[in-house]
Structure 1
């Protein structure tokens, strides 16, 4: 069993493909992995080796990780429709609806043979075929894609591992260097449970636990924009055609 700690980040996130992997097969329920080409249909699941954590594709559309006591620890924002999950052969974990339209993905394409592992410590990690870290339920590598959120304890890490943008429990979104020195923060403290959303219309917004917007980059009108944490420590919002819209040095 591999630990959750990772020293080096070597892979870049790329665009989500628009069609499911051909010749996908049902997941092997006897192990803790979803390997290249395997799918999870509604009500199907894979478990950690110690049996304490279960990743299940729910009938209502969410892919959810449960821990001890059947407590939900993580889930995809894909409820409201029949859906299935597939670990695609090019490296993306993708949720598709019944019409084979993509609803959500990890943006880890470009890594043929990558696989998803449900770990004994409760982490959910995608590794490349050569066992390099690509994605986890706690961290994004390089960028926060359009439509994705950072909840408390989640972060975006630069590809070289030197910087991370962390959503903290008190409500601030903070940029740290490797020495854990704070370099930049949003003015959103004293809001436990707040989260950051890279909205599909282009705004990065901090929401309170009651879903009230409390801070924004004011970059709306740029559908498909995404946030990047660069190797030099710069945080940038780019349009979908890679024009810089907003930045923090």
Structure 2
């Protein structure tokens, strides 16, 4: 395998578990705010929101502790998966990290962008949530996972993982093919095209797989029996499944 490195466990911030979206009734119980930005130092408490300028998308800090994103039909599009933590708040920290913290000030979820002081979150008219640096560069967005995919995290059609330096993406295409790209050039794929609606998932047994929308496996890394394993998109263009201890288990050899 090419350019595989042993990873220190504390080197990256893991993302939250797969999203847990609340009901439409929960979304309706919040107080809608017209502002579309969450700026450095600002906090969203339970019941507080940010809304896109066109009024079609709503980011809500729910009473159950989940930070969730809805469209105008009150359909859940994304969440931090932090329900079950009443009293939690979302904080746009001065260091650039967006964090959901419990009532006891324990970090429950974050964007992992703590090295970008002055960054802010924007609820956009196109249905995306984007965290921009103070210079306007995108640092995080709801449709992408950055560098790492942890246990039980999924890539739905159109979603992707991007390397830390933004040069490579692993894209779950709408046609069912999982593709590693560099500047729109395909470097590797799972060869699962022709399966519209397929998705990729980093399973909690350590296997990274592409499934049909009916959850039939189409392709896997064959790395099961490794609970806690994760997928890393490296800055050298290589996709690697590492064990919880940082041992390489599979690579795209790109």
Q: Please, what TM-score do these two structures have when normalized by structure 1?
A: 0.74
Q: Which stretch of the first structure deviates more once superposed, 37-46 or 182-191? A: 182-191
- Cα distance, 1:241 vs structure 2: 5.2
**Is the counterpart of residue 45 in structure 1 residue 76 in structure 2?**
no
Q: Which stretch of the first structure deviates more once superposed, 51-60 or 70-79? A: 70-79
Q: Which stretch of the first structure deviates more once superposed, 148-157 or 198-207? A: 198-207
CA displacement, residues 75-125 of structure 1 (integer Å, 9 cap, x when unaligned): 333344434322233333233344544433222222233221112222210
What is aligned with 1:7?
A: none
What is aligned with 1:244?
A: 248
What is aligned with 1:104?
A: 109
What is aligned with 1:125?
A: 130
Q: Aligned in 2, Cα 1:225/1:186: closer, same or farther, shift over 3 Å?
A: same
Mapping of 1:203-242 within 5 angstroms?
203-211=207-215, 213-220=217-224, 222-240=226-244, 242=246
Whole-Å separation in 1 of the counterparts to 2:101 and 2:198: 28
Whole-Å separation in 2 of the counterparts to 1:111 and 1:239: 29
What is aligned with 1:24?
A: none
**Is the counterpart of residue 149 in structure 1 residue 149 in structure 2?**
no
Q: Please, what TM-score do these two structures have when normalized by structure 2?
A: 0.73
Mapping of 1:41-190 within 5 angstroms?
41-82=45-86, 83-178=88-183, 180-190=184-194
Q: Which stretch of the first structure deviates more once superposed, 58-67 or 119-128? A: 58-67
Whole-Å separation in 2 of the counterparts to 1:90 and 1:203: 34
Whole-Å separation in 2 of the counterparts to 1:223 and 1:169: 28
> Does the aligned pair in 1 maintain the 2:55–2:72 contact within 8 Å?
no
Whole-Å separation in 1 of the counterparts to 2:251 and 2:80: 28
What is aligned with 1:32?
A: 36
Q: Aligned in 2, Cα 1:227/1:16: closer, same or farther, shift over 3 Å?
A: closer
Whole-Å separation in 2 of the counterparts to 1:98 and 1:199: 30
In structure 1, runs of 5+ residues without a counterpart are: 1-12, 18-27
Whole-Å separation in 2 of the counterparts to 1:181 and 1:189: 16
* Superposition CA RMSD, Å: 3.1
- Cα distance, 1:16 vs structure 2: 5.7
In structure 2, runs of 5+ residues without a counterpart are: 1-10, 16-31
Whole-Å separation in 1 of the counterparts to 2:226 and 2:179: 24
CA displacement, residues 48-91 of structure 1 (integer Å, 9 cap, x when unaligned): 23322211122344322223333433233334443432223333
- Cα distance, 1:46 vs structure 2: 0.6
> Does the aligned pair in 2 maintain the 1:53–1:66 contact within 8 Å?
yes
- Cα distance, 1:220 vs structure 2: 4.2
2:13 to 3, 6, 15: 15
> Does the aligned pair in 1 maintain the 2:14–2:148 contact within 8 Å?
no
